[in-house]
Structure 1
Amino acid sequence: MNGSDFMGWNAIWLAIAIFVIICIFLGVRIVPQSEKHVVERFGRLTKVLGPGINFVVPFLDRIAHKVSVLERQLPTASQDAITTDNVLVKVETSVFYRVTEPEKTVYRIRDIDAAIATTVAGIVRSEIGKLELDQVQSNRSQLIERVREQVAMMVDDWGVEVTRAEILDVNLDEATRAAMLQQLNAERARRAQVTEAEGKKRAVELSADAELYAAEQQAKAKRVTAEAEAFATAVIAEAIKENGLEAAQYQVALKQVEAFEAVAKGAGKQTVILPAAALDAFGDAFKLLRGK
């Protein structure tokens, strides 16, 4: 083998080695964790490469699309909707989604973001059109859940998963807002009047309860006084029964003494003129006292 033949064989082996290196380089594909690669062969879908090391046929297969599987957020969108009670509202929505089947996403829809945004807008208008304004404001969580379910069913053929669909705000036009403000002020005034009336009613009830309590206490005091007087009368009657006339004269004399004592204590009364009968009564009383 001469030198020219040796150099020829070396060139061939070198070409073969370079070809093998190129085949290995083209046949081995490393896919990041956040992506999936769509492989085509002669313009036709062959397979989808997942994260990690993958092998393809060199010179025949090519990576046609590199699709991110990270969660994406659509720009905040605003659309008009009309409730069943004919109130125009402006709804702000936000949608989060991620691609689960990239082969569907790249071959079935051209602009996935615009498609999802349009779908969400239509579903939001449809769902709000079934509710009154008060229901939209009070049942927002249920409304969001229904919108999420509807969107999930609509975008299933596009190989995406809607992870979140939020209604950020529901705004009213100026005329409706002014009317609702007037209604709110009227309701506040009505509640204030009701509260004031209830307070006056309560005050009257408390005053009546106080008067009733005072009357009951007075009646109770009179009843106690009457019972005491009845008891005293019974004692006197028993004494008269036992001692006869002397006990009666004694009680009469005590009453006369108390009466003259009260007259003597009057203002400007320093001299008291007593009739003879009164002096006799005092004497009888003193006799009885000494007798006791």
Structure 2
Amino acid sequence: MDFEQFLLDALQNNLVFLLLALLFVVLVFKSVKIVPQSEKHVIERFGRLRAVLGPGINMIVPFIDKIAHKISILERQLPTASQDAITRDNVLVQVDTSVFYRIIEPEKTVYRIRDVDSAISTTVTGIVRAEIGKMDLDEVQSNRDSLIDTIKASVEDAVDNWGIEVTRAEILDVNLDAATRAAMMQQLNAERARRAQVTEAEGSKRAVELSADAELYASQQTAKARRVLADAEAYATQVVATAINENGLEAAQYQIALKQVEAFSAMGKSDGSQTVIVPAEALSAFGDAFKLLKGRG
């Protein structure tokens, strides 16, 4: 009996030890929490916010603290949203937008907003309509980058209390209704026709200018040639005058007689001239020329 009592006591002691060891393991398991790199865990104690656990190994009070929310901190993309907006010049457009964000303060996100995606989408819709209403259609098309920056800044201000960081905002497309698109196409065609007419008119104008320049250049060259000829004649006259002054009247008579001889010689060489009738005055001129030549020889 004593041996059996000993075994019973030993078994009871071992059972207690095993229970204590099991309880210790459970406590350790419950108190040690490993948070992944891409998440943050919100801890509540008796229904109230206790702490936010970051990535890595964390310790909590078992059976008192509990993980109420596991929040991913990865960047998220909202589904593409389409909303109608009216520009300042009363044109109806359909704008496709998309927003990228990530949660940086989970304690604000889980306790201040129920459906964060829906809330951001509604906020973006209102901001897009308000900003496009301040711009004409041409400004919406040409200033898309500045419009995106404005929308992003406005959304950031609106969601600041939700613990969210807006990383990007994109305007994917701006669509027009069929009537507005047809009117714009008609306007575009008219603008192209106007530009073609302007180009043709400028070409004609340039052609006229070039023609006028050519005529002016020809006139200038003709006038220049006339001036050169006049200068040559004046020079020749000056040479003759100088010769008369230096050599007397005989030099002048010699030059005149020589020119007459050259003229009649050219007439005699022409193809259509078989007979040359020389007046008596010409014979006298020849005689004078020969006398002068002989005298000079």
Give the TM interval when normalised to the shorter protein.
Answer: over 0.9
Q: Within the alignment, does 1:227 sit opposite 2:194 as a pair?
A: no
2:50 is paired with a residue whose SS is strand
Cα distance, 1:244 vs. partner?
Answer: 2.4
1:91 is paired with a residue whose SS is strand
The one-character-per-residue Cα deviations of 1:215-260 (angstroms, maximum 9, x if unpaired) are: 1111111111111111111111122223323122212212322332
Q: Within the alignment, does 1:5 sit opposite 2:9 as a pair?
A: yes
Where does residue 116 of structure 2 map in the other structure? 112
Where does residue 128 of structure 2 map in the other structure? 124
Where does residue 66 of structure 2 map in the other structure? 62
Where does residue 139 of structure 2 map in the other structure? 135
1:45 is paired with a residue whose SS is strand
Cα distance in 1 for partners of 2:30, 2:248 equals 145
Q: Within the alignment, does 1:188 sit opposite 2:215 as a pair?
A: no
Cα distance in 2 for partners of 1:176, 1:265 equals 88
1:70 is paired with a residue whose SS is coil
The one-character-per-residue Cα deviations of 1:131-184 (angstroms, maximum 9, x if unpaired) are: 111111111111111111110011111111111011111111111111111111
Unaligned runs of 5+ in 1: none
Q: Within the alignment, does 1:255 sit opposite 2:251 as a pair?
A: no
Amino acid at match of 2:199: T
2:284 is aligned, of 271, 280, 289, to: 280
Where does residue 205 of structure 2 map in the other structure? 201
Where does residue 151 of structure 2 map in the other structure? 147
TM-score in terms of structure 1 length: 0.96
Deviates more, 1:83-92 or 1:105-114: 105-114
Deviates more, 1:102-111 or 1:257-266: 257-266
2:34 is paired with a residue whose SS is strand
2:157 is paired with a residue whose SS is helix
1:119 is paired with a residue whose SS is helix
Amino acid at match of 1:22: V
Cα distance in 2 for partners of 1:238, 1:44 equals 129
1:30 is aligned, of 31, 34, 37, to: 34
Cα distance, 1:24 vs. partner?
Answer: 0.3
Amino acid at match of 1:220: K
Cα distance, 1:4 vs. partner?
Answer: 1.6
Where does residue 42 of structure 1 map in the other structure? 46
The one-character-per-residue Cα deviations of 1:29-55 (angstroms, maximum 9, x if unpaired) are: 000000001112222221111100001
Where does residue 174 of structure 1 map in the other structure? 178
1:261 is paired with a residue whose SS is helix
1:102 is aligned, of 102, 106, 109, to: 106
1:2 is paired with a residue whose SS is helix
Cα distance in 2 for partners of 1:243, 1:12 equals 160
Cα distance, 1:267 vs. partner?
Answer: 4.2
Cα distance, 1:277 vs. partner?
Answer: 2.1
Runs of 4+ in 1 over 3 A off after TM superposition: none
Where does residue 78 of structure 1 map in the other structure? 82
Amino acid at match of 2:46: F
Say how many residue pairs are matched: 292
Where does residue 90 of structure 1 map in the other structure? 94
Q: Within the alignment, does 1:159 sit opposite 2:184 as a pair?
A: no
Cα distance in 2 for partners of 1:183, 1:234 equals 75
Cα distance in 2 for partners of 1:170, 1:291 equals 107
Cα distance in 2 for partners of 1:205, 1:179 equals 39
Cα distance in 1 for partners of 2:234, 2:170 equals 86
Cα distance in 2 for partners of 1:68, 1:99 equals 7
